[in-house]
């Protein structure tokens, strides 16, 4: 008994001692000068590896691409600090010759590597030639496919000679999340094998150098350079944080706890429930939107992606019928608990895309008709976004905007009507029949659809897929979900799916050019059944009209307004053909804590970049953040 009592006393003493010796979040660094952000890559297996040019050898979003790397241009997914386009290492925009077989880049002067060596054309030439000579580096393949030679007529000009016309070759060096970064020639030329060199510590062009890192891969700390003015973001002023730490805070619940304890300034993403908890309980936490839906809409468009090479999905009437069976309000509630930004058309409703595409096409969508075989039917419901807002208002109160423009920005505009009668007519037109409660294909087989979802890896999208399968099943289609979990990438590439919840559309966000994803949809890239499909035409859809749009886009310059017209032609085409069913933007619940920092981007007053901290564009946020007084 004495033993027992002693044990209990020892235990309590240990607990007290633990509390008394509780350490701060970060050792030997001033918390008020340190920004702590989540790295969504989690724990890095190979933390001492900073050679970002070796494919997937180490972490990228550890702060390495956000704070340390640099390249010619950045396109912001939102509005940009000084416009969406930023000339970074380049002094001007790319200069193409008439037939897009040559691209000249004038380089910015006065930029220095962190070890004091000046940046020049030699670094660019070295980077490109290294990728030409070595297979297996991250950008070896696109460089070898496109570049015939590179030349530098002077220390601040490089000329790329291309193997074939490519009006968007500059996209390789234009950051939209990442891009091909420039290597330090004076460091890498000493390495025996650029693919096996760990580049530790990294010599950088960015405003931050590596301060320290966890040998077990949980955290990376970066320190602002004393000579930050000699970097490309020096034009925008001194970056606020002296130190920036990227950490692995663990599962979504722990991220919420960490922020409520003010140990995590920026959550990269959490669950909708986690966001709502923070919105209710933490006065200093806020999302991209100050109210519902809080989340930042990524320039990515989750959709129901059909395998259009399968016989059952070749008929667009079938695809349209399945679209009309979806009640997007229910899908929004099931997936994001209502915090979704819907899109009926084939681009995500984010950045400047609503201005160039969603608004101008609204009139066309309202008048758009499909032939159900029985009648002409107008499938577009312009009030769906407002309907979702109305559904949420009783429980969320003044968190839900009332202004139509704000509702459109937060929840989206219209979507396709949920009309089972029209769906029935379309399926019958396609030769399907209903016997009892079940639908049958034209050849008399049960109409079965397996909707592939990612499972725990992407719970929000899994919930969306489950709701869609349920809605189809209620109609009489034998629909169910198949969880791919870790095999999603393999199955997607192999075409081993019938329908899946994923995305094949990603846009720049800030720039209206759609070739970022659309070029890959040309029929020349569609793989034969059973062969691996290259990104991003996962639906394996071929259409001669689409090919014409893509080929014409290739022939016009990046900033040519003709590109926007062609983009609208694409949207009208995919609305008619419905190769995929667009759902919503990929909403990211990035949450920012203002306990230590102010100046974060937001939708209402400061949309200068997106707040999601794993983007290369995050570096612009550093110039706006200031410590709380």
Partner 1 sequence: MPGYLAYFVRRLGQFALVVFIGVNIAFFVTHATPIDPVEQTISAATSFGSTSPEAIAQMRQSLRELYGLQGGLLEQYAVFWKRVAVFDFGPSLSAFPTPVSVLIGRALPWTIGLLFVSTVLAWVLGNLLGGLAGYYRNSRLLRLAGVLVMGFHPIPYYIVAFVLLILFGYVWPVLPISGGSQMNLAQGFDFRFIVSVLQHAILPALSLVLVGIGGWFMGMRALVSNIVTEDYVTYAELGGVNRPRILLSYVMRNALAPQITGLAMSLGGIFNGAIITEQVFGYPGIGSLLVDAVHAGDYSLVLGVTSVSIVAVSAAVLLVDLLYPLLDPRVKVH
| Full 3-state SS string of 183-233 | CCHHHHCCCCCCCCCCCCCCCCCCCEEEEEECCCCCEEEEEECCCHHHCHH
Pairing of strands 174-175, 157-162: unpaired
- Stretch of 106-114, 150-158, 409-417, 485-493 lying at the interface with partner 1 (CB under 8 A): 485-493
Query: Nearer to partner 1 by C-beta: 408 or 484?
Result: 484
Query: Nearer to partner 1 by C-beta: 300 or 353?
Result: 300
Q: How far is the CB of 113 from partner 1 (least distance, A)?
A: 23
Q: d(Cα 478, Cα 486) in Å, to the nearest integer?
A: 25
Determine if 611 is a binding residue for partner 1 (CB under 8 A).
Answer: no
Q: How far is the CB of 63 from partner 1 (least distance, A)?
A: 13
Q: Give the burial string for 167-182 (b: 16+ CB within 10 Å, else e).
A: bbbbbbbbbbbbbbbb
Q: d(Cα 63, Cα 208) in Å, to the nearest integer?
A: 9
With CB under 8 A as the contact rule, the residue among 92, 253, 371, 559 that binds partner 1 is 253
Pairing of strands 95-96, 285-286: unpaired
- Residues 146-165 as x/- pattern, contact with partner 1 by CB under 8 A: x-------------------
Determine if 249 is a binding residue for partner 1 (CB under 8 A).
Answer: yes
Instruction: Give the CA distances from residue 296 to residues 267, 268, 409, 584, 603, in Å, rounded to whole numbers and listed in that order.
Output: 12, 10, 11, 12, 8
With CB under 8 A as the contact rule, the residue among 245, 321, 347, 464 that binds partner 1 is 245
Determine if 214 is a binding residue for partner 1 (CB under 8 A).
Answer: yes
- Stretch of 200-208, 252-260, 413-421, 438-446 lying at the interface with partner 1 (CB under 8 A): 252-260
Q: What is the DSSP letter of 112?
A: B
With CB under 8 A as the contact rule, the residue among 67, 147, 247, 427 that binds partner 1 is 247
Query: Nearer to partner 1 by C-beta: 179 or 625?
Result: 179
Determine if 30 is a binding residue for partner 1 (CB under 8 A).
Answer: no
Cα within 13 Å of Cα(34), Cβ side? 20
User: Which residues 188-207 are close enough to bind partner 1 by CB under 8 A?
Assistant: 195-196
User: Which residues 314-373 are close enough to bind partner 1 by CB under 8 A?
Assistant: none
User: Which residues 44-103 are close enough to bind partner 1 by CB under 8 A?
Assistant: 45-46, 49, 54-58
12: helix, strand or coil: helix
Q: How far is the CB of 465 from partner 1 (least distance, A)?
A: 19
Q: d(Cα 450, Cα 533) in Å, to the nearest integer?
A: 20
Q: Do residues 538 and 504 lie in contact, with contact meaning Cβ atoms separated by under 8 Å?
A: yes
What residue ranges in 194-334 does DSSP mark as E strands? 208-213, 219-224, 243-247, 266-267, 285-286, 296-298, 300-306
With CB under 8 A as the contact rule, the residue among 93, 108, 186, 218 that binds partner 1 is 218
Q: How far is the CB of 145 from partner 1 (least distance, A)?
A: 5
User: Which residues 523-542 are close enough to bind partner 1 by CB under 8 A?
Assistant: 525, 532, 534-537
Pairing of strands 174-175, 73-75: parallel
Tokens (6 digits) for 606:
């400061």
Query: Nearer to partner 1 by C-beta: 57 or 326?
Result: 57
Query: Nearer to partner 1 by C-beta: 372 or 537?
Result: 537
Tokens (6 digits) for 627:
């410590």
φ, ψ dihedrals at 551, nearest 5°: -65, -35
Instruction: Give the CA distances from residue 59 to residues 53, 121, 183, 623, in Å, rounded to whole numbers and listed in that order.
Output: 11, 27, 17, 24
- Stretch of 16-24, 234-242, 346-354, 588-596 lying at the interface with partner 1 (CB under 8 A): 16-24
Q: How far is the CB of 555 from partner 1 (least distance, A)?
A: 18
Instruction: Give the CA distances from residue 458 to residues 211, 348, 588, in Å, rounded to whole numbers and listed in that order.
Output: 33, 19, 12
Query: Nearer to partner 1 by C-beta: 149 or 489?
Result: 489
With CB under 8 A as the contact rule, the residue among 109, 154, 200, 216 that binds partner 1 is 216
Determine if 283 is a binding residue for partner 1 (CB under 8 A).
Answer: no
With CB under 8 A as the contact rule, the residue among 91, 132, 191, 257 that binds partner 1 is 257
Q: How far is the CB of 301 from partner 1 (least distance, A)?
A: 14
User: Residue 67's closest CA among 187, 184, 225?
Assistant: 225
Neighbours of 599 (CB within 10 A): 18
The angle, 0 to 180 degrees and rounded to 10, between the axes of the packed helices 384-396 and 328-336 is 40
Query: Nearer to partner 1 by C-beta: 61 or 352?
Result: 61
With CB under 8 A as the contact rule, the residue among 90, 162, 258, 583 that binds partner 1 is 258
Query: Nearer to partner 1 by C-beta: 214 or 478?
Result: 214
Tokens (6 digits) for 452:
């592939």
Q: d(Cα 495, Cα 455) in Å, to the nearest integer?
A: 18
Q: How far is the CB of 499 from partner 1 (least distance, A)?
A: 19
Query: Nearer to partner 1 by C-beta: 538 or 589?
Result: 538
Determine if 140 is a binding residue for partner 1 (CB under 8 A).
Answer: yes
User: Which residues 549-608 are close enough to bind partner 1 by CB under 8 A?
Assistant: none
Q: Do residues 46 and 57 lie in contact, with contact meaning Cβ atoms separated by under 8 Å?
A: yes
What residue ranges in 178-254 does DSSP mark as E strands? 208-213, 219-224, 243-247
Tokens (6 digits) for 563:
């590109």
With CB under 8 A as the contact rule, the residue among 132, 260, 310, 556 that binds partner 1 is 260
Q: d(Cα 348, Cα 35) in Å, to the nearest integer?
A: 30
With CB under 8 A as the contact rule, the residue among 97, 109, 135, 555 that binds partner 1 is 135
Determine if 19 is a binding residue for partner 1 (CB under 8 A).
Answer: yes
Query: Nearer to partner 1 by C-beta: 332 or 617?
Result: 617
Q: d(Cα 100, Cα 77) in Å, to the nearest integer?
A: 26
With CB under 8 A as the contact rule, the residue among 96, 119, 126, 219 that binds partner 1 is 219
Determine if 110 is a binding residue for partner 1 (CB under 8 A).
Answer: no
Determine if 217 is a binding residue for partner 1 (CB under 8 A).
Answer: yes
Neighbours of 459 (CB within 10 A): 15
User: Which residues 486-505 are close enough to bind partner 1 by CB under 8 A?
Assistant: 486-487, 489-490, 492-493
Please, is 94 exposed, middle or buried when counting C-beta atoms within 10 Å of its C-beta (0-12, 13-18, 19+)?
Answer: buried
With CB under 8 A as the contact rule, the residue among 72, 160, 177, 497 that binds partner 1 is 177
Q: What angle do CA 152, 156, 161 make, to 5 degrees?
A: 35
- Residues 36-55 as x/- pattern, contact with partner 1 by CB under 8 A: ------xx-xx--x----xx
Total residues binding partner 1 (CB under 8 A): 82
With CB under 8 A as the contact rule, the residue among 144, 282, 315, 480 that binds partner 1 is 144
Q: How far is the CB of 38 from partner 1 (least distance, A)?
A: 11
Query: Nearer to partner 1 by C-beta: 423 or 612?
Result: 612
- Stretch of 80-88, 139-147, 417-425, 553-561 lying at the interface with partner 1 (CB under 8 A): 139-147
Q: d(Cα 171, Cα 33) in Å, to the nearest integer?
A: 35
User: Residue 536's closest CA among 548, 555, 550?
Assistant: 550
């Amino acid at each position: 008994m004495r033993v027992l009592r002693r044990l209990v006393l020892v235990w309590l003493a240990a607990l007290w001692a633990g509390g008394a010796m509780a350490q701060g979040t970060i050792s030997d660094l001033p918390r008020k000068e340190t920004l702590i952000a989540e790295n969504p890559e989690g724990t890095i297996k190979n933390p001492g590896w900073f050679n970002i040019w070796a494919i997937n050898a180490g972490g990228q979003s550890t702060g390495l691409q956000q704070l340390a790397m640099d390249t010619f241009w950045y396109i912001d997914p939102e509005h940009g600090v000084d416009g969406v386009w930023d000339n970074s290492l380049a002094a001007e925009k790319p200069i193409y010759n008439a037939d897009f077989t040559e691209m000249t880049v004038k380089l910015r002067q006065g930029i220095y590597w962190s070890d004091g060596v000046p940046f020049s054309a030699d670094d660019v030439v070295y980077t490109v030639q290294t990728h030409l000579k070595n297979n297996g580096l991250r950008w070896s393949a696109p460089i070898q496919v496109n570049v015939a030679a590179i030349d530098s007529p002077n220390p601040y000009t490089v000329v790329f000679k291309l193997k074939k016309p490519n009006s968007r070759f500059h996209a390789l060096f234009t950051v939209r999340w990442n891009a091909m970064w420039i290597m330090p020639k004076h460091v890498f030329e000493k390495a025996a094998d650029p693919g096996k060199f760990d580049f530790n510590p990294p010599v950088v062009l960015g405003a931050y150098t590596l301060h320290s890192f966890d040998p077990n891969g949980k955290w990376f700390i970066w320190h602002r350079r004393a000579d930050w003015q000699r970097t490309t973001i020096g034009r925008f002023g001194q970056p606020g944080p002296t130190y920036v730490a990227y950490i692995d805070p663990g599962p979504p619940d722990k991220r919420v706890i960490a922020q409520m304890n003010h140990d995590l300034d920026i959550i990269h993403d959490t669950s909708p429930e986690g966001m709502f908890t923070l919105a209710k309980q933490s006065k200093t936490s806020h999302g991209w939107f100050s109210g519902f839906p809080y989340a930042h809409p990524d320039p990515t468009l989750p959709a129901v992606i059909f395998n259009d090479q399968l016989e059952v999905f070749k008929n667009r009437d079938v695809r349209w019928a399945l679209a009309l069976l979806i009640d997007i309000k229910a899908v929004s509630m099931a997936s994001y608990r209502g915090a979704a930004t819907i899109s009926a058309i084939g681009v995500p409703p984010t950045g400047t895309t609503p201005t160039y595409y969603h608004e101008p096409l609204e009139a066309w969508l309202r008048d758009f008709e499909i032939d159900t075989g029985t009648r002409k039917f107008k499938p577009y419901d312009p009030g769906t976004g407002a309907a979702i807002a109305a559904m949420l208002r009783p429980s969320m109160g003044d968190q839900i905007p009332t202004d139509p423009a704000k509702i459109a920005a937060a929840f989206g505009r219209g979507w396709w009507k949920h009309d089972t009668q029209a769906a029935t007519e379309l399926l019958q037109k396609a030769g399907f029949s209903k016997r009892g409660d079940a639908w049958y294909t034209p050849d008399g087989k049960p109409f079965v659809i397996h909707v592939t979802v990612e499972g725990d890896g992407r719970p929000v999208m899994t919930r969306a897929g489950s709701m869609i399968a349920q809605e189809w099943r209620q109609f009489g289609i034998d629909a169910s979900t198949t969880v791919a979990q870790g095999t999603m990438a393999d199955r997607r590439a192999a075409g081993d799916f019938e329908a899946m919840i994923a995305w094949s559309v990603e846009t720049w966000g800030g720039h209206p050019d759609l070739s970022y994803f659309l070029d890959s949809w040309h029929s020349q890239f569609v793989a034969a059944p059973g062969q691996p499909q290259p990104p991003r035409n996962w639906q394996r859809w071929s259409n001669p009209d689409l090919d014409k749009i893509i080929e014409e886009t290739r022939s016009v310059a990046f900033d040519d307004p003709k590109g926007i017209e062609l983009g609208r032609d694409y949207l009208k085409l995919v609305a008619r053909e419905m190769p995929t069913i667009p759902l919503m933007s990929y909403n990211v619940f990035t949450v920012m804590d203002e306990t230590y920092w102010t100046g974060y981007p937001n939708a209402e007053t400061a949309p200068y970049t997106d707040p999601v901290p794993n983007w290369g564009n995050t570096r612009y946020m550093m110039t706006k953040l200031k410590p709380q007084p």
